[in-house]
Amino acid sequence: MQSCLPDIKGIIISDYCKGMITRALIRKVLALAGSRIFIAADPKIGHFDYYRGVSLITPNINEASFGSGIDIMDDKTLYAAGRRLLKKLQCRSVIITRGDEGMTLFENGGRATHIPTCAREVYDVSGAGDTVIAALTLSHCAGASLKEAADVANHAAGVVVGKIGTAAATQQEVMESMRACKPPVP
């Protein structure tokens, strides 16, 4: 990994609770990457404390409830959970994915931004979280702000849930989604 660090702009850590992702591994990645490399993590229940200091975490609403210790039931508890995760994990940003309610971006030192979904038929949510973190990291590392990258990720996830089985969103499909349904990003 060290030999390719000069060429890396982003690292994605997707934790499936299978034993591959450990606290020691995350510490090593953070130490090697420094502050120059954007590190996005999709944490799982029981592993939130591993991710202290990463650039971004992308829990779903259930994972965020567990990780923050706040039962997310409405906007007030959602915002409290997002702020607590930012503080607890000392990361720069948190995106809580909320299924058909879109996602909410919490930035350190900033306010929360809700990114709504576009109305569409959902066939299969398999891979939606992986799509979010991949599209967001790619967009952000290519120069998009976190809000812009979250909008791209939201559209990409919308494309994949409209397909049966684990699927990928093409650049053309994401662009078509963005043209057809452009929810405002504050």
Residues with catalytic function: 130
* Rounded Cα gap, residues 180 and 139, in angstroms: 19
> Which residues make beta-bridge pairs with 96?
104
> Which residues make beta-bridge pairs with 94?
57, 106
Q: How far is CA 4 from the centre of its chain?
A: 24
Q: State both tokens at 3.
A: 């030999």
Q: Nearest-CA neighbor of 49 among 24, 32, 73? A: 24
Angle of helix 146-161 relative to helix 171-180, nearest 10 degrees?
A: 100
